[in-house]
């Protein structure tokens, strides 16, 4: 029997979210998540994935995954420290370290797990963490789990960061202080001011942590935001995901050997949860190899992204502060944003509404994610739909 209190909690809260236009329906896809998707029997142009380079459906990755299933089976079998460390996990970590230009890498089951693993492994209640106000939820959860004092600084506001770093140091209250930021901010597509952040970190002896989930495969010719700014020796933690540009599933932290060795003995999702499957590890390794040997997909991604973004701007849409392929069309009101996205879907364009609490209230947007796998004809079709609906709903 379900508890009455649980039942009324769920009913009241779901009704409230629906009333405020904040209840996101989840659409099941029929078949693969590619440049087009099928939903309810309808083919649509997909502008909602994080599959930046189209690798999720790449034949080379599929082949690597199938071969790994044949040679190693379906699952890793155990937590890695017990007996689940496969040669495929070690190969992946070696390849990622080469890709990132760091001494070593530890891999996790997801990007989310990497953040909730790594931050609490080095920070505790005697420490403080300076965290950008727009950091991803998994960073926030990692910071909370560490029990360190969390000091949010205004988004990309370097004066605020410097001031808060100075106060934290001068208070003498903390053993260690970390500054943590997304490399690329996932809802706006702007890039962190890493050279300034690193400068402040040097001034105040801060630990530096960059979540590069959206920068890897995209910036720095694919190697990420840290490489983009040439700061490889200045950032302690380069966290990344294998689920976006890499096209598979998993996460990792790249850094100095001593740090990675520590994470292997102290990070809880590594110690208490089984690693990704052989197929996932092998497909990810293949994706990294592809990125290291050719820049074709990266160049195609940027060409498509520039084309879509400039087209939307010319139509009069507000793409905010985006500097990367993440291309928001900021509408504002939550219900208007949901209505816009629904009309796009009806016109065969799958671009999701992103509303509170994923973005601040009143900052609803339809987020477009062009990829290397889109054709120009697909992007033109999307722009035509944007123009039609933008006029119809009086947004442009």
- 186 binds ligand PMP per the rule CB under 6 A: yes
Closest residue by beta carbon to ligand PMP: 111
In the bound state with ligand PMP, the residue whose beta carbon lies nearer, of 168 and 192, is 192
Q: Which of 110, 156, 338, 345 binds ligand PMP (CB under 6 A)?
A: 110
Q: Which range of residues in 69-77, 107-115, 201-209, 283-291 is near ligand PMP by CB under 6 A?
A: 107-115
**Of the residues 72, 89, 95, 244, which is catalytic?**
244
Q: Which of 220, 224, 251, 390 binds ligand PMP (CB under 6 A)?
A: 251
Quote the crossing angle between the two packed helices 334-346 and 376-392, to the nearest 10°: 130
In the bound state with ligand PMP, the residue whose beta carbon lies nearer, of 156 and 390, is 156
* 214 included as an active-site residue: yes
Question: Residues touching ligand PMP: how many (CB under 6 A)?
Answer: 13
* 8 A C-beta contact, residue 270 and residue 146: no
Q: Which range of residues in 160-168, 169-177, 206-214, 292-300 is near ligand PMP by CB under 6 A?
A: 206-214
In the bound state with ligand PMP, the residue whose beta carbon lies nearer, of 184 and 385, is 184
Q: Which of 48, 146, 243, 277 binds ligand PMP (CB under 6 A)?
A: 243
* 8 A C-beta contact, residue 353 and residue 337: yes
In the bound state with ligand PMP, the residue whose beta carbon lies nearer, of 185 and 317, is 185
CA–CA–CA angle 105, 108, 111 (5° rounding) = 100
CA of 22: how far to CAs of 26, 321, 337, in Å? 13, 24, 10
Q: Are strands 207-211 and 349-350 parallel, antiparallel or unpaired?
A: unpaired
Residue 189, preceding peptide bond in cis (omega within 30° of 0): no
Distance CA 56, CA 207 (A): 34
**Coil, strand or helix at 48:** coil
- 136 binds ligand PMP per the rule CB under 6 A: yes
* 156 included as an active-site residue: no
**Of the residues 89, 214, 286, 352, which is catalytic?**
214
**Of the residues 186, 267, 305, 322, which is catalytic?**
186
Q: Which of 197, 213, 378, 382 binds ligand PMP (CB under 6 A)?
A: 213
Please state the closest distance from residue 383 (CB atom) to ligand PMP, in A.
26
- φ, ψ of residue 114 in degrees (nearest 5): -60, -45
Distance CA 283, CA 163 (A): 44
* 305 included as an active-site residue: no
Distance CA 48, CA 33 (A): 10
Tokens of 363: 């900052």
Please state the closest distance from residue 204 (CB atom) to ligand PMP, in A.
24
Distance CA 129, CA 277 (A): 33
- 111 binds ligand PMP per the rule CB under 6 A: yes
Quote the crossing angle between the two packed helices 278-293 and 296-315, to the nearest 10°: 80
Q: SS3 for 258-291, per residue?
A: HHHHHHHHHCHHHHHCECCCHHHHHHHHHHHHHH
Catalytic residues: 186, 214, 244
Give the interface with ligand PMP as residue ranges (CB under 6 A).
110-112, 136, 138, 182, 186, 211, 213-214, 241, 243, 251
């Amino acid at each position: 029997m379900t508890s009455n209190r649980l039942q009324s909690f769920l009913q009241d809260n779901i009704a409230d979210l629906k009333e405020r236009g904040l209840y996101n329906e989840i659409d099941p896809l029929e078949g693969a998540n590619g440049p087009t998707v099928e939903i309810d029997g309808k083919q649509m142009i997909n502008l909602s994935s994080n599959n930046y380079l189209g690798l999720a459906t790449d034949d080379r990755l599929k082949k690597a995954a199938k071969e790994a299933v044949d040679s190693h089976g379906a699952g890793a079998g155990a937590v890695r420290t017990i007996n689940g460390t496969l040669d495929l996990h070690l190969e992946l970590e070696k390849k990622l370290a080469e890709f990132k230009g760091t001494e070593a890498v530890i891999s996790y089951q997801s990007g989310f797990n990497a953040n909730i693993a790594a931050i609490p492994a080095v920070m505790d209640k005697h420490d403080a963490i300076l965290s950008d106000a727009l950091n991803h939820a998994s960073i926030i959860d990692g910071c909370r789990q560490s029990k360190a004092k969390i000091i949010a600084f205004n988004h990309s506001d370097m004066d605020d960061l410097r001031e808060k770093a100075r106060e934290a140091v001068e208070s003498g209250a903390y053993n260690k202080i970390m500054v943590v930021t997304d490399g690329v901010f996932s809802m706006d597509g702007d890039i962190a001011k890493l050279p300034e952040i690193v400068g402040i970190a040097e001034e105040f002896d801060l630990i530096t942590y960059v979540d590069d989930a959206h920068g890897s495969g995209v910036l720095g010719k694919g190697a990420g935001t840290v490489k983009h700014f040439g700061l490889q020796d200045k950032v302690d933690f380069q966290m990344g995901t294998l689920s976006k540009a890499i096209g598979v599933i998993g996460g990792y932290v790249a850094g100095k050997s001593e740090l990675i060795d520590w994470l292997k003995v102290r990070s809880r999702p590594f110690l208490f949860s089984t690693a990704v499957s052989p197929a996932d590890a092998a497909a990810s390794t293949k994706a990294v190899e592809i990125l290291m040997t050719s820049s074709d997909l990266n160049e195609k991604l940027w060409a498509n992204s520039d084309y879509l973004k400039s087209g939307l701007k010319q139509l009069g849409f507000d793409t905010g502060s985006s500097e990367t392929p993440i291309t928001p069309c900021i509408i504002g009101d939550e219900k208007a944003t949901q209505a816009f996205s629904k009309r796009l879907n009806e016109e065969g364009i799958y671009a999701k509404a992103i509303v509170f609490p994923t973005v601040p209230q009143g900052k609803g947007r339809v987020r477009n994610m062009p990829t290397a796998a889109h054709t120009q004809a697909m992007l033109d079709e999307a722009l035509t739909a944007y123009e039609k609906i933008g006029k119809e709903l009086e947004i442009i």
